[in-house]
Chain A
Amino acid sequence: MSKGKISRRALLAGTAAAVSAASAKILPAQESGTKDPTKVQGGPAKEVGERSRFEKPKRTYFSPTRQASNTPLQDLEGIITPADLHFERHHAGIPEIDPESYSLLIHGMVERPRMFTLADLKRFPAEAVTRFLECSGNGFRTYRNPEANKEETPQQVEGLTSTSEWIGVPLKTLFKEVGVLPEAKWFLAEAMDAAVMTRSIPVEKGWDDAMIAYGQNGEAIRPEQGYPARLFLPGFEGSSNVKWIRRIELADKPFMTREETSKYTDPLPGGKARQFSFVMDVKSIITYPAYPVTLTEKGFREIKGIAWSGRGKIVRVDISTDGGESWNKATLQEPVISKCHTRFRFAWDFNGAQATLMSRATDETGQTQPTHVELKKLRGPGTSYHYNHIRAWTVRQDGSIVFGENA
C-alpha cells in the first residue's frame, strides 16, 4: 500500500466498526485472526487434542545441556501439572525404552529373586495417588543470591516441582512377592539410562508408600518421567525417585553411590554433611501476582499460590503483604492431600503503595517455613539442597513486581 492512500479494505473495515456498536468487543478477536465463532462452523474432532493457540505454557531450562527444565507454575490452575509440563531432571538424557523388552529385577536379600515384565507389573493390584515431586535443588539460585535474580518468574524461582496422579503397583506388594528378608535394611534402585543412575533407599519406605509407577495423569508415564516404569517415593527428594527402573537390590546397608555421596548431600556448619536427606521440607510460593506481571490498576487481587510438604498435609498458609510484619491466614483450596501441592488463595487490595508479598506454609507435623535469614544461619550460605525458606515478591508503586524483599 502506497503512502497517503487508504485502501478499500481498510475503509470497509473502518466503516463496519463504526456501524456496529456491538462489534467493539469482537474487533480484537478479528485482529487476532479469528472470526465470530457463532457465525462459522468450528473445527472437527482430533485424535490427539492440543491447547488453544492462545495458550502457550512452556517449560524453561537454564543450562544449554538441557539436563533439567522447569514447570510454568504461573500458568497452571488447580493442583495437577499437565504431564508435558512436568519438570525434568535427568543425568544422562532421556532414554528410549521399548516396553516389550523392559523388565525389573528384584534380588539380593530376598527369598525368591524375580524378574517382572511390564505386563507382570500391571497384573498386580494397582493403586493411584496424587502427590508432588520436587528436585531437592529447587530454589538454589535464589537461596544463594536473591538480589541477583530479581527478574525471575515463579517458574524460574521454584519450577522444579510438579504434581501428578501416579498409578502403579505398591512396592510392598513386590516385596512380599520376592520375600524380602528381615535383615534387609536398604534397597538399591537402578535406572536403565546412560548414567545407570542409582540411589539407596531405606527398606521402610518400600514397606510404607513407595510404588513402581507406570501411569501418570491418565496415561503411560512420559519418557522424561521414566517410561515405562519408575520408582515413586511420596515426599522424598526427586533424585531418589529413580526413573526407568531396571533393578532393585536388597541389602543390609546403603550402597554409597555417587548420587548419595558426591551429590545430593547437604553440607552443614560444623564440618559435616547431611546424607540421605530424603524428605522434602514444608514449602510454598505465590504464583500470582509475581514477576513479570504488572498490576496496571489499583484494587482487588486474589493472591494465589501452592504449598506442599514431604511430611504430610499442609494445614495452614499465612500471607504477609508487608514483608513479614503481619500475617493473615489464606484459604486452602480443596482437595488438601498429603504430600501434594495444595492451592491457597488470599484476598488483597492493591492500593498503589509498595507491598512485599510473602507466603508461609505449615504442615501437619507443625513445621513452618523459616525465613531466608534463619535458614542461612542454620545451614550456612554454601549448603546445598532443601531450600524451603519463605519467598517474597515486591510490588512497586507502579505495579511492577520483582522477586525478593527489596524493590
Chain B
Amino acid sequence: MRMVWLATIVAALATAQAETEDDKGTFGFGRTPTEAEIKALDIDVMADGTGLPDGEGTVAKGEELYYQLCASCHGVTGTEGPNDVLVGREPREGFPFATTTGLSRTIGNYWPYATTLYDYTYRAMPFDEPGSLTPDQVYSLVAFLLHKNEIIAEDVIIDKNSLPEVVMPARDRFVHDNRVGGPELR
C-alpha cells in the first residue's frame, strides 16, 4: 500500500516536471536554426581573425572608395571630420589620453586591433547605406586607413591572413577593469 502511494507521488512529480522542462532541464521552446541562417547573421570578426571572409583589398582601391564613400563624413585626409577622426599617430609617446584633454582617438593612436576596423566597417558603414560593402571593398578601405595611419606599407595586400598579423600601435595599452567596489577608489 505504502509502495503504491509512493509510486503515485513519483508519477505526479514526473508529470509536473514534463509540463515545464524535459530531462535536460529545458523547455524546448524556439527552434533549431539552419546553418545558412546562422551564417547569414554571424558577421563578427574576432581579434585572431576568426570570421574574416575570403577576398582581399589594396591601398589604391581603398583610396578610391574612401573619397567616394567616406570623405564627406571623415574628411578628405581622415582628420577633418565632422565625424570621427580616423587618421593620426600623434602623440607618438606615452599614450597620454588621461592626462591631456582634447586628443583625438584615432585608428593609429588608439585602436588596439586592426580586425575591429574590418568588423565595424562591414557591419555599420557607410553611414548612408550601412552594411552595403562587399568584403573586397572593406579589405581595401581597411588597407587604405592602415596605410594612412603609417601602420602598413602602400603595397601590402590585406586579406584574412594578413589582417590579424597587423600589430596596432596601441595594442598593449588596454587593461581589464580593476575596480572592485569597496572604499578604495581606482
Contacts and interface: CB of A to CB of B under 8 A. Distances in A.
Interface of A: 91-92, 105, 107, 112-117, 120, 123-124, 144, 176-177, 179, 188, 190, 194-196, 198, 246-247, 249, 251, 253, 255-258, 261-262, 265-279, 281, 311, 363, 365-368, 370, 374-375, 378-383
Contacts of B120: 257-258, 262
B37 A272 contact: no
A258 B139 CA distance: 17
Interface string B106-137: 01001111011001100110000011000000
Contacts of B175: 268, 272-275
A256 B113 contact: yes
Contact of B181 (A365, A380, A381): A365
B94 to A, nearest CB: 5
Q: Which 4 A-B pairs have the closest CB atoms?
A: A380-B98, A365-B181, A267-B97, A267-B98
B32 A113 contact: yes
B41 interface: yes
B2 interface: no
Contacts of A367: 181-183, 185
A194 B132 CA distance: 11
A112 B176 contact: no
A257 B38 contact: no
Contacts of B174: 261, 265, 272-275
A148 B46 CA distance: 42
Contacts of A247: 41-42
Interface stretch (B11-19, B21-29, B63-71, B147-155): B21-29
Contacts of B31: 114-115
A272 B95 CA distance: 7
Contacts of A365: 181-182
Interface of B: 24-27, 29-33, 37-38, 41-44, 46-47, 94-103, 105, 107, 110-113, 115-116, 119-120, 123-124, 130-131, 173-179, 181-183, 185-186
For A247, A276, A382, the residue with the greatest tally of chain B CB atoms inside 10 Å of its CB is A382
Contact of A92 (B30, B94, B110, B124): B124
Contact of B177 (A116, A277, A366, A378): A277
Contact of A378 (B32, B96, B185): B185
Contacts of B130: 92, 194-196
Nearest to B102: A382
B104 to A, nearest CB: 11
A311 B177 CA distance: 14
Nearest to B20: A125
B95 A382 contact: no
B97 A273 contact: yes
Given A256-B47, A256-B113, A272-B95, A177 B177 contact: no
Given A256-B47, A272-B173, A383 B98 contact: yes
A258 B44 contact: no
Given A256-B113, A256-B115, A261-B113, A124 B29 contact: yes
B30 A255 contact: no
Contacts of B38: 105, 107, 113
6 contacts: A107-B42, A115-B30, A256-B46, A257-B120, A366-B182, A381-B98
A387 B24 CA distance: 45
Nearest to B33: A115
Contacts of B178: 274
A379 B185 CA distance: 10
A269 B186 CA distance: 11
A114 B32 contact: yes
Query: Which interface residue of B29, B98, B130, B175 has the most chain A CB atoms within 10 A?
Result: B98
Contacts of A107: 33, 38, 42
Contacts of A270: 98
Nearest to A266: B98
A7 B37 CA distance: 77
B176 A276 contact: yes
Contact of A105 (B27, B33, B95, B173): B33
Contacts of A117: 30
A311 B179 CA distance: 11
Nearest to B130: A194
A113 B42 CA distance: 13
Given A190-B41, A256-B46, A274-B175, 13 more contacts: A91-B124, A112-B26, A113-B32, A253-B47, A261-B112, A261-B174, A273-B174, A277-B177, A365-B182, A367-B182, A378-B186, A380-B99, A383-B98
A253 B27 CA distance: 28
Nearest to A309: B181
